[in-house]
Amino acid sequence: MPLMLISSLRSRFLLALGGVLLMALLALMMIGKWIVLPALLAEERSLVSQQLDRLERSLALNQEQLLAQVRDWATWDDTYEFVQDAYPRYAEVNFSQNMFEEMGYHLMVFFDSDKEVHWIAGLDPQSGRYASCSEADDSCRWAAPYIRPLQASLANDPSEGRSDVYTQPSLAIIASNPILRTDESGPAQGWLFKVRHMDDEFTNMMEAHTGLAVTFDTAAADTEIPSSYTIDEGIILARRLLPSAQDHSMLSLGTLFDRDNYRASFTTFVYALLWTGGLMLLVIATVLLLLERMVLQPLRALTRFTKQLEPYQLNLHLGPRLSHRLRNRNDEIGSLAREFEAQLLRQEQLTDELRELSTHDALTGLPNRRFFDAKLNEAVDAARDTSRPLSVMMLDIDHFKLFNDHYGHPRGDLCLKEVADCMKHHCEPHGVTIARTGGEEFSAILLHQPAQDAIRFAQELCNSIAEMAYPHDFSPVASHLTVSIGVASYIHNETRDASALMSAADEALYQAKNAGRNRVMLYDKTQPINAASVYTHE
Ligand SMILES: Nc1nc2c(ncn2[C@@H]2O[C@H](COP(=O)(O)OP(=O)(O)OP(=O)(O)O)[C@@H](O)[C@H]2O)c(=O)[nH]1
């Protein structure tokens, strides 16, 4: 059964198209895995990188602004005088809680030309209170951790203004500039530092400017990966390490990136995959439907037609005809059906010819022994069943060997043919079946004829042949062709079968020959040979 299922065209097409569908889906999945998804990821990384670039630029801008501010203060005659103790009210006049809050930075440290702290002013990061002192103690103690790193930076070329990121003691951007006169003439009388903490306020300001989520962190200086991407529930945590003024650590600038685009593209791709699969299924179903309607149904109709013809031995004249729908199709199946029908007709014709050849004699066209035997068996059965009379006769041309010997075999053939025609003309109108059952021997079935009628008929036949006056100059019987006929009739409860009936006719023929030929003899089992009824032509 499973083999039958696979051997049907429908199953094969289903398997083949299913295989194609699977291959196509597999190919799409491979394209998705190795081409589409990597491209989406690359695009996403590029977007994340652009986002980090923006943050980096925004940070640099803030550093530049702080540097501009520090440069503004450091190249000012008042400041110049202040670090030389020539302007005692400088701090009182210029620094205030409001000023720091408004400017956004948290600490200002003035160093004199000996690189010693001259003044500190700013907001305590813990309490937010303003303090202004000449040393980092008492109310300015909170500023003490900044002094050493700032002093350390003075050792590295402090001659120009600069702005750096510091990670210690807290994350901050710090800008510095040498203290010069307003016209920027020297010599420098010290350095001014401004510190802006990278606190929540700074973060919020960056986020407001860039529209991006920002995180700041400290990373060890030996961290090897400059950028990292961590995916957490549809959000990418991207980090980029930036150098700080302190060798032992770096600033880790981070942003959060929503993977909406990636997810949308991925979902679109999955939809495309599903739609492709669905469409291909639809195509397969349509192909199978068309196959069913255009190929399988007509083929089944052709098979049905052949099966219906079987009981009629594929005979188109007896069985059903090919349907108009099949015959009138213009496609290959129509051609197949028409060709099939034509083949059947040819075969039928051949079968008729073979049947004719197998039941008829080629020379005379008369039925042959096979045909005669079959007919005789039927006739004997019918006579037995119906008790109606039945006779047979066996006819042999007299001295035909002499005819052949003298006129030649071809003339003999011609003679056989003409005698056969004569017998046919004589027998057919009377419903008598005459057959060539031997070389120059013929047999006939006389249905429903009792012995006397059969003898009369045989005699008439004998006369007809004699009347042909077919020359046979070498016959010892007559100058023309003559025949001898043995007649036998079916006798109820006595005649065993067809063979026995023909043996009786043969016996009568034998007697006719012995009696001098050119005569008819009826078989009579009660009579000795010499006493058999003899009917001569004369
Ligand atoms: N030309 C021809 N001769 C045939 C054919 N079939 C048989 N014969 C010949 O018919 C002859 C029959 O000869 P025999 O059986 O000796 O009998 P006969 O010469 O007819 O003599 P009786 O039958 O005794 O009168 C043979 O010579 C066969 O060759 C045939 O198809 N064509």
Place of tokens 């001259």: 118
Q: How far apart are CA 325 and CA 166, in angstroms?
A: 93
Ligand 1 atom with the smallest distance to the CA of 439 is 6
**Helix or strand or coil: residue 194?**
strand
Please write the tens of the pLDDT for every residue from 81-101: 999 999 999 999 999 999 999
Ligand 1 pocket: which of 368, 395, 400 to mutate (most atoms <8 Å of CB)?
Answer: 400
Q: Which of 238, 309, 276 is nearest to 53 (CA)?
A: 238
Task: Report the DSSP beta bridge partners of residue 192.
Answer: 110, 177
Ligand 1 pocket: which of 417, 440, 442 to mutate (most atoms <8 Å of CB)?
Answer: 440
- Alpha-carbon Rg of the chain, whole angstroms? 65
Ligand 1 atom with the smallest distance to the CA of 404 is 1
Q: How far apart are CA 260 and CA 9, in angstroms?
A: 48
Please write the tens of the pLDDT for every residue from 183-239: 988 799 999 999 999 999 999 999 999 999 999 999 988 877 777 777 777 888 899
Ligand 1 atom with the smallest distance to the CA of 413 is 1
Q: Are 388 and 445 in contact (CB under 8 A)?
A: no
> How far does the centroid of ligand 1 lie from the alpha carbon of residue 407, in Å?
13
ipTM of the complex: 0.98
Q: Which residues are catalytic?
A: 440
Q: How far apart are CA 136 and CA 132, in angstroms?
A: 10
Q: What is the pLDDT averaged over residues 327-354?
A: 88
Q: Is the dihedral of CA 360, 366, 368, 374 positive or negative?
A: positive
Q: Whose Cα sits closest to atom 16 in ligand 1? A: 401
Residue 217 structure tokens? 């962190």
Ligand 1 atom with the smallest distance to the CA of 397 is 20
- Spell out the residues 6+ positions from residue 410 whose beta carbon is closer than 8 angstroms to its own: none
> How far does the centroid of ligand 1 lie from the alpha carbon of residue 397, in Å?
8
Ligand 1 atom with the smallest distance to the CA of 398 is 25
Helices 297-309 and 332-359: crossing angle in degrees, nearest 10, is: 10
Q: How far apart are CA 203 and CA 194, in angstroms?
A: 18
Report the predicted TM-score, pTM, of the whole model to 2 decimal places. 0.56
> How far does the centroid of ligand 1 lie from the alpha carbon of residue 48, in Å?
117
Please determine, for residue 34, whether its predicted confidence score (pLDDT) is greater than 80. Answer: yes
* Single-letter code of the amino acid located at 310: E
> How far does the centroid of ligand 1 lie from the alpha carbon of residue 401, in Å?
4
Q: Whose Cα sits closest to atom 21 in ligand 1? A: 399
> How far does the centroid of ligand 1 lie from the alpha carbon of residue 481, in Å?
13
Q: What is the largest CA-CA distance in the chain?
A: 188
Please determine, for residue 264, whether its predicted confidence score (pLDDT) is greater than 60. Answer: yes
Q: Whose Cα sits closest to atom 13 in ligand 1? A: 401
Task: Report the DSSP beta bridge partners of residue 90.
Answer: none
Q: Whose Cα sits closest to atom 18 in ligand 1? A: 399
Ligand 1 pocket: which of 364, 401, 414 to mutate (most atoms <8 Å of CB)?
Answer: 401
Please write the tens of the pLDDT for every residue from 396-443: 999 999 999 999 999 999 999 999 999 999 999 999 999 999 999 999
Q: How far apart are CA 120 and CA 190, in angstroms?
A: 13
Pocket residues for ligand 1 (CB within 6 Å)?
363, 396-402, 404, 409, 412-413, 416, 439-440, 513, 517
Ligand 1 atom with the smallest distance to the CA of 412 is 1
Q: Are 492 and 533 in contact (CB under 8 A)?
A: no
Q: What is the mean pLDDT of the chain?
A: 90
* Single-letter code of the amino acid located at 152: A
Q: How far apart are CA 231 and CA 227, in angstroms?
A: 13
Please determine, for residue 536, whether its predicted confidence score (pLDDT) is greater than 90. Answer: no
> How far does the centroid of ligand 1 lie from the alpha carbon of residue 64, in Å?
140
Number of Cβ within a 10 Å radius of residue 296: 16
> How far does the centroid of ligand 1 lie from the alpha carbon of residue 440, in Å?
6
Helices 369-386 and 498-514: crossing angle in degrees, nearest 10, is: 110
What confidence tier does 529 reach under pLDDT thresholds 50, 70, 90? very low
> What is the full DSSP assignment across 255-292?
EEEETHHHHHHHHHHHHHHHHHHHHHHHHHHHHHHHHI
Task: Report the DSSP beta bridge partners of residue 394.
Answer: 443, 486
